[in-house]
């Protein structure tokens, strides 16, 4: 508990009260600060920097001719214990001026102090008492939302900026290192609970999961029952990063000091409120070496380090705490009744020579806020005195009340250049320095700045880290990882595990034609229609345009086959023309044979329209040419079968049949059937003609150019009509298969139609089940097979007789055999 004394004469020496607490006192303004973080009776040497920061600020103001000229500040020092039973003791002593607690009475001979500096935790407890007297109370931190309630604490002012950006800063640090699996050890006080709630909400928004939450109690009575379970939980946790948050009065520090040898593989992230490095035991280094600490950013106070270097007990002889610190630090002997006389001290003893864990020469957050608090009170008193000169004298009994209007709206720039604002409505969010706990010097610790976080810059630049400066825990040679599940690489997606947090998942390969081009994607995305996914499922490539080309092995095979059969058909035609006067050619109606051979040549050649780069012309000609030339061929076969049948009938009833045969009725079937097919094709082309289309799905990685048939109904009508002609030809040929004629080709026509029908009946289901180039190849193959069936079954036997068995191609004995066969047939019929 600290008070500042305004004195119009000469600087006063510190008034030291060797009570269980610390208080700074002024004659007209009092600033009370909680300087003791002691959880036992051990002297906390590092906390004494608070007192020295107060002294430094007062001396600096007293030397300033422009701030409170002709006026001197002084102070008194009290110790305040972290105990509910004793925390109010020294405030009563300070107010009453007596060892006995006598409310509403004061026996002080000095001028009344006008302001109090304290820690936030102490201010919560003392605030109600001090509010009765309207005493201005300034807190050195940490920021406490409860104290911002002007209705409950109208006389309280917080020097620390708002810490609402702390959770954002910690989450930004997690994201920077890709730490998505962390544990939380939080004090169970209201501020800790609020911090945990805000942190978990921010983590959830950014995809960071919490492995466990341990609430560390604030009282020794609760600590013993939960300590073992908390230790076991943290040790067993798979999270390698732990966030520790405590307020000043929590017992996290006392709890953690018993497990130092078990924590060497963890990365700790905490705030400067828990000063674990202040322990005099160097073994804590091995547990918390590499810890990352969020500390409020502040500029360096010029002259403070030099002040600490020159400070010693002889300079402040009335300060018993300074003497105690010196004797403990340098093993000096203490003499004298007041225990303030030191002997046998090293000649070069100074605070700078002490190890950092014992006394840190860098100004702490609390010391910086005390420095600002002293200046805030000084500026307010200065403004109040100026108003007194302009308006009316200030009633010293009402000094507390007179100071509030100036403090409430106070805003000034301190000697370091930082803006200080006491209006909680305009209080800015805190900026943070990120410190790293180094093992330097060896066996002790030093906090080194490795980065910063500011909520006032653009979103992607709020965090800045120098990773090359970070020292991780002992044995860790690279940036630690803390994840529940290993990241899913591109090409995989996350599959949540039932009953587990979102950060725990399995990795599943993306389905075909879907990709994930980033790590840890929740869903795979489809490639566009004109692109395809590679085998790794992490990129989409443009599909290659392809078709059944002449250079393609399949296309080349089909082209060669079509050309070979076409040449063979031409050869057969040549043979028939050359031997046109032989009995076998004459007997089988050489005119129809010529038409059939020419039609087969076009049947083989029309298959070439299906091969090569499709265009509008080829797409239109493919199906129409196929339909017309095959109709021509099949109708010719039908005419030949009818001719065979009528030729036999001539020999029996005779005349009428002979007249039909001689009149050329069978030959008229060819143009009639062909015209019907041409009419169907014309309707097809007039309503929904074929067109060029693309097939992007049949073949992986390719876009196939195909001819879309336009009207599937018209296509099957053409095929159906062609099939009906083939069925009619097969029926007539089957009826004429046993007629008595040496050169009767009815059997060959029957078998050829059987092959033809079999090919196209098989074609339909196969054609429906294929896509892309294979579909085209199936149709070409069916064209070639059916054409080859007609050619082989009808003309190969005849050419064999003409070329290799010419003795059978003669009329000798033909009539006798025909007559005998006709007689047998007549007998059977009678």
Asked which of 568-577, 679-688, 793-802 is least confident by mean pLDDT, the reply is: 793-802
Nearest alpha carbon to residue 437 among 318, 328, 548, 289: 289
Which among 677, 706, 735 is the end of a domain? 735
* CB-based contacts of 362, cutoff 8 Å, min separation 6: 447
148 vs 228, more confident? 148
Domain co-membership, 454 together with 496: no
Domain co-membership, 196 together with 305: no
Domain co-membership, 631 together with 692: yes
Q: Cα separation of 362 and 368, whole Å?
A: 10
Whether residue 617 lies inside any domain: the answer is yes
Strand ordering across the sheet containing 691-695: 544-546, 702-708, 691-695
Domain co-membership, 176 together with 293: yes
Domain co-membership, 81 together with 182: no
Q: Quick one: pLDDT at residue 733?
A: 78
Under the phi-then-psi rule, with left for phi > 0, alpha for psi from -120 to 50, and beta for the rest, what region is 491?
Answer: left
681 vs 8, more confident? 681
Give phi and psi for 710, each to the nearest 5.
75, -85
Which among 715, 735, 755 is the end of a domain? 735
Half-sphere exposure of 22 (CA within 13 A, CB side): 24
- DSSP, collapsed to helix, strand or coil, labels residue 218 as coil
> What is the β-pairing status of strands 72-77 and 15-16?
parallel
pLDDT tens-digit map of 326-382:
888 888 887 766 666 788 888 888 998 888 777 888 898 889 999 999 999 999 988
Confidence tier at 470 by pLDDT (50, 70, 90): very high
Task: Please determine, for residue 255, whether its predicted confidence score (pLDDT) is greater than 60.
Answer: no
Torsion of CA 635, 638, 640, 646, to 10 degrees: -130
Task: Please determine, for residue 192, whether its predicted confidence score (pLDDT) is greater than 60.
Answer: yes
- Within a 10 A sphere around the Cβ of 490, how many other Cβ atoms? 18
Whether residue 5 lies inside any domain: the answer is no
Share of the chain above pLDDT 90, in %: 21
Whether residue 219 lies inside any domain: the answer is yes
pLDDT, mean over the chain: 79
586 vs 279, more confident? 586
Task: Please determine, for residue 104, whether its predicted confidence score (pLDDT) is greater than 70.
Answer: no
* CB-based contacts of 106, cutoff 8 Å, min separation 6: 95, 96, 97, 112
Neighbour-count burial for 417-453, b at 16+ CB within 10 Å, e otherwise: eeebbbebeebebbbbbbbbbbbeeeebbbbeebbbb
Give the mean model confidence (pLDDT) for residues 115-144.
82
Confidence tier at 524 by pLDDT (50, 70, 90): very high
Q: For residue 267, give the CATH number of its domain.
A: 3.40.50.2300
Nearest alpha carbon to residue 168 among 466, 456, 465: 456
pLDDT tens-digit map of 159-177:
888 888 999 999 999 999 9
351 vs 263, more confident? 351
pLDDT tens-digit map of 748-770:
888 888 888 888 888 888 888 88
Which among 735, 770, 787 is the end of a domain? 735
pLDDT tens-digit map of 714-753:
888 988 898 888 888 888 877 766 655 554 677 788 888 8
Whether residue 141 lies inside any domain: the answer is yes
Whether residue 376 lies inside any domain: the answer is yes
Q: Is the dihedral of CA 183, 185, 190, 195 positive or negative?
A: negative
Q: Which domain holds residue 57?
A: 29-100+109-158+301-312+360-412
Whether residue 438 lies inside any domain: the answer is yes
507 vs 113, more confident? 507
Neighbour-count burial for 103-131, b at 16+ CB within 10 Å, e otherwise: eeeeeeebbbbbbbbbbbbbbbbbbeebe
Domain co-membership, 458 together with 405: no
Confidence tier at 257 by pLDDT (50, 70, 90): low
Domain co-membership, 285 together with 176: yes
Task: Please determine, for residue 591, whether its predicted confidence score (pLDDT) is greater than 80.
Answer: yes
Give the mean model confidence (pLDDT) for residues 515-531.
89
Q: Quick one: pLDDT at residue 722?
A: 87
Q: Is the dihedral of CA 326, 331, 336, 338 positive or negative?
A: positive
Q: Quick one: pLDDT at residue 511?
A: 92
Counting beta carbons within 10 angstroms of the beta carbon of residue 655, is it exposed (0 to 12), middle (13 to 18) or buried (19 or more)? exposed
Give the mean model confidence (pLDDT) for residues 410-435.
88
- DSSP, collapsed to helix, strand or coil, labels residue 761 as helix
Whether residue 333 lies inside any domain: the answer is no
Give phi and psi for 531, each to the nearest 5.
-130, 165
Asked which of 312-326, 385-399, 565-579, 620-634 is least confident by mean pLDDT, the reply is: 385-399
Give phi and psi for 464, each to the nearest 5.
-130, 130
Q: Cα separation of 553 and 155, whole Å?
A: 94
Counting beta carbons within 10 angstroms of the beta carbon of residue 156, is it exposed (0 to 12), middle (13 to 18) or buried (19 or more)? buried
Give the mean model confidence (pLDDT) for residues 588-607.
88
Domain co-membership, 711 together with 606: yes
Domain co-membership, 619 together with 537: no
Q: What contacts 24+ positions apart, CB below 8 Å, involve 516-519?
A: 516/488, 516/490, 516/491, 516/492, 517/490, 518/490, 519/487, 519/488, 519/489, 519/490
Counting beta carbons within 10 angstroms of the beta carbon of residue 321, is it exposed (0 to 12), middle (13 to 18) or buried (19 or more)? buried
Residue 403 and residue 29 in contact, taking contact as beta carbons nearer than 8 Å = yes
Domain co-membership, 580 together with 716: yes
DSSP string, 3-60: EEEEESSSPPPPEE--SSS-----SSB---------SSSS--GGGHHHHHHHHHHHHH
Q: Which residue(s) pair with 411 in the sheet?
A: 421
Whether residue 752 lies inside any domain: the answer is no
Domain co-membership, 35 together with 84: yes
Counting the structural domains of the chain, the total is 4
Nearest alpha carbon to residue 423 among 162, 796, 779: 162
Domain co-membership, 289 together with 307: no
């Amino acid at each position: 508990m600290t008070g500042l004394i305004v004195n119009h004469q000469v600087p006063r020496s510190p008034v030291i009260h060797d009570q269980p607490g610390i208080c700074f006192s002024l004659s007209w303004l009092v600033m009370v600060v909680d300087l003791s973080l002691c959880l036992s009776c051990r002297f906390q040497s590092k906390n004494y920097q608070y007192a020295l920061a107060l002294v430094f600020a007062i001396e600096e103001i007293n030397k300033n001719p422009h701030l409170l000229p002709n006026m001197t500040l002084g102070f008194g020092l009290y110790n305040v214990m972290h105990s509910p039973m004793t925390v109010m003791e020294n405030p009563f002593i300070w107010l009453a001026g007596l060892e006995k607690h006598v409310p509403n009475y004061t026996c002080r001979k000095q001028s009344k102090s006008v302001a109090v500096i304290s820690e936030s935790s102490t201010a919560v407890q003392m605030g109600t008492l001090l509010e009765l007297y309207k005493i201005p109370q300034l807190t050195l931190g940490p920021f406490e939302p409860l104290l911002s309630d002007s209705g409950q604490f109208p006389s309280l002012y917080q020097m620390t900026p708002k810490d609402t950006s702390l959770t954002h800063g910690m989450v930004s640090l997690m994201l920077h290192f890709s730490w998505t699996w962390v544990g939380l050890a939080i004090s169970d006080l209201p501020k800790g609970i609020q911090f945990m709630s805000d942190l978990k909400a921010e983590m959830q928004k950014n995809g960071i999961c919490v492995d466990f939450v341990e609430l560390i109690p604030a009282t020794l009575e609760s600590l013993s029952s939960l300590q073992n379970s908390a230790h076991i939980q943290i040790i067993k946790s798979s999270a390698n990063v732990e966030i520790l948050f405590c307020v000043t009065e929590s017992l996290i520090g006392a709890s953690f000091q018993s497990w130092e040898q078990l924590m060497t593989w963890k990365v700790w992230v905490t705030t400067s409120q828990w000063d674990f490095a202040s322990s005099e035991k160097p073994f804590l280094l091995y547990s918390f070496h590499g810890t990352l600490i969020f500390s409020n950013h502040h500029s360096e106070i010029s002259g403070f380090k030099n002040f600490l270097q020159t400070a010693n007990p002889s300079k402040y002889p009335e300060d018993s705490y300074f003497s105690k610190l010196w004797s403990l630090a340098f093993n000096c002997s203490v003499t004298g009744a007041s225990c303030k006389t030191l002997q046998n001290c090293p000649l070069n003893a100074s605070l700078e020579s002490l190890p950092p864990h014992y006394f840190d020469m860098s100004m702490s957050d609390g010391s910086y806020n005390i420095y600002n608090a002293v200046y805030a009170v000084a500026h307010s008193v200065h403004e109040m005195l100026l108003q007194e000169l302009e308006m009316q004298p200030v009633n010293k009994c009402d000094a507390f009340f007179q100071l509030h209007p100036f403090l409430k709206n106070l805003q000034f720039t301190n000697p370091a250049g930082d803006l200080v604002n006491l209006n909680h409505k305009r209080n800015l969010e805190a900026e943070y320095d990120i410190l790293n706990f180094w093992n330097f010097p060896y066996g002790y610790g030093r906090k080194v700045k490795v980065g910063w976080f500011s909520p006032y810059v653009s979103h992607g630049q709020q965090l800045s880290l120098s990773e090359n400066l970070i020292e991780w825990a002992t044995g860790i040679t690279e940036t630690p990882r803390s994840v529940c599940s290993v990241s899913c690489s591109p090409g995989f997606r996350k599959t949540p595990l039932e009953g587990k947090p979102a950060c725990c998942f399995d990795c599943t390969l993306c389905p075909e034609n879907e990709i994930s081009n980033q790590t840890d994607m929740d869903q795979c995305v489809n490639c566009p229609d004109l692109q395809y996914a590679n085998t790794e499922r992490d990129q989409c490539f443009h599909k290659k345009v392809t078709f059944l080309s002449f250079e393609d092995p399949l296309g080349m095979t089909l082209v060669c086959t079509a050309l070979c059969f076409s040449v063979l058909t031409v050869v057969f035609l040549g043979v028939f023309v050359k031997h046109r006067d032989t009995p076998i050619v004459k007997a089988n109606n050489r005119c129809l044979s010529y038409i059939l051979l020419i039609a087969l040549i076009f049947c083989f050649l029309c298959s070439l329209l299906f091969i090569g780069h499709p265009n509008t012309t080829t797409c239109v000609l493919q199906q129409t040419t196929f339909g017309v030339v095959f109709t021509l061929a099949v109708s010719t076969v039908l005419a030949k079968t009818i001719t065979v049948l009528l030729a036999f009938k001539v020999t029996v009833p005779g005349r009428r049949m002979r007249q039909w045969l001689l009149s050329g009725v069978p030959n008229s079937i060819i143009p009639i059937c062909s015209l019907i097919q041409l009419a169907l094709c014309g309707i097809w082309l007039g309503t929904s003609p074929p067109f060029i289309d693309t097939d992007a799905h049949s073949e992986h990685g390719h876009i196939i150019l195909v001819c879309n048939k336009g009207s599937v109904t018209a296509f099957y009508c053409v095929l159906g009509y062609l099939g009906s002609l083939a069925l009619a030809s097969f029926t007539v040929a089957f009826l004429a298969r046993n007629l008595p004629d040496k050169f009767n080709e009815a059997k060959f026509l029957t078998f050829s139609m059987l092959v033809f029908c079999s090919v196209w009946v098989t074609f339909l289901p196969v054609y429906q089940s294929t896509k892309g180039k294979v579909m085209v190849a199936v149709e070409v193959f069916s064209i070639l097979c059916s054409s080859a069936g007609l050619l082989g079954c009808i003309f190969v036997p005849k050419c064999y007789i003409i070329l290799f068995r010419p003795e059978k191609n003669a009329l000798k004995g033909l009539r006798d055999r025909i007559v005998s066969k006709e007689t047998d047939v007549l007998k059977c019929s009678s």
